[in-house]
């Protein structure tokens, strides 16, 4: 499926008598995710400029990591080969971008991100009384190099559970050797007798191997007070082991503010 990234701009008239224009560049990229392997070390991306003006792009490659809070860490790299790195696509024209690596797969999946940035073009309105206001488009897309192990899998583990101010905070870690793809997860909170107090389906984003992220779910004070265990499960991942809710302060945000 094509992912369309539209850059929009807003022009505000300030009574100067000049004509203001807000332009948008519209382009599509396919595929929206690149998966490389020992068998397939290169991939081709198709880009189409759907706007009525030329599109100039710069492409940069980054190693993609996550910190202890799940925030992205991007570091420029030459391990991902991109060609071309600078190019122009004419109005309603298409172009191709080649991506590859010479790295050999390791025990853990490697993650990268490609960043496509629109570059400023010539301003055909310069000098004729028009003011041109634009926001330049940017697309960031993932690139993965699969591990050598053909049976690699993501595996969720609950690192910590806490409840405070009407919210349940579940720290999840991916202890597998490939990424966890964005998808809803099943969260079940149970009391000492095994009765389910809360069932939720929050969305969990990308979780790279070894990385950690946090789910936050609203929970009523009564359910919080009785909560003993939490379990998390998802498709295409080993289910997380149940964890105890030992760290909790069950006052709601509204009641604690009084």
Ramachandran sector of residue 127 (left: φ over 0; alpha: ψ -120 to 50; beta: rest): left
Q: Is there a domain that residue 108 lies in?
A: yes
* Total number of domains in the chain: 2
Same domain, 160 and 130: no
Domain that holds residue 34: 3-145
Domain boundary among the residues 145, 176, 200 is at 145
Cα angle for residues 93, 94, 99 (degrees, 5° grid): 155
Same domain, 133 and 15: yes
Tell me what pLDDT residue 51 has: 86
Highest mean pLDDT among 13-17, 34-38, 69-73: 34-38
Tell me what pLDDT residue 19 has: 36
What are the tens digits of pLDDT across the range 155-193? 999 999 998 888 999 999 999 999 999 999 999 999 999
> What pTM was computed for the model?
0.81
Same domain, 237 and 138: no
Mean pLDDT of 145-154: 88
Rounded CA separation 34/194 (Å): 43
pLDDT greater than 50 at residue 10: no
- On the CB side of 213, how many CA atoms lie within 13 Å of its CA? 22
Tell me what pLDDT residue 15 has: 33
């Amino acid at each position: 499926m094509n992912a369309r990234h539209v850059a929009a701009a807003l022009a505000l008239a300030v009574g100067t008598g000049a004509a203001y224009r807000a332009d948008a560049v519209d382009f599509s990229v396919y595929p929206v995710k690149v998966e490389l392997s020992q068998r397939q070390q290169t991939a081709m991306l198709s880009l189409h400029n759907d706007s009525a003006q030329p599109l100039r792009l710069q492409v940069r490659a980054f190693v993609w990591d996550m910190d202890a809070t799940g925030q992205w860490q991007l570091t420029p790299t030459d391990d991902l080969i991109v060609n071309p790195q600078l190019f122009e696509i004419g109005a309603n024209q298409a172009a191709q971008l080649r991506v590859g690596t010479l790295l050999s797969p390791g025990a853990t999946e490697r993650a990268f991100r490609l960043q496509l940035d629109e570059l400023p073009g010539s301003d055909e309105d310069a000098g004729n009384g028009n003011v041109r206001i634009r926001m330049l488009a940017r697309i960031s897309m993932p690139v993965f190099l699969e591990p050598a192990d053909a049976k690699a899998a993501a595996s969720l583990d609950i690192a910590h559970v806490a409840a405070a101010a009407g919210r349940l905070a579940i720290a999840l870690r991916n202890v597998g050797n490939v990424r966890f793809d964005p998808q809803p997860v099943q969260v079940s909170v149970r009391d000492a007798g095994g009765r389910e107090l809360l069932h939720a389906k929050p969305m969990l984003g990308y979780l790279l191997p070894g990385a950690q992220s946090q789910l936050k779910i609203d929970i009523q004070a009564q359910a919080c007070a009785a909560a003993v265990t939490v379990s998390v499960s998802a498709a295409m991942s080993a289910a997380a082991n149940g964890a105890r809710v030992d760290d909790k302060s069950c006052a709601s945000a509204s009641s604690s503010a009084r």
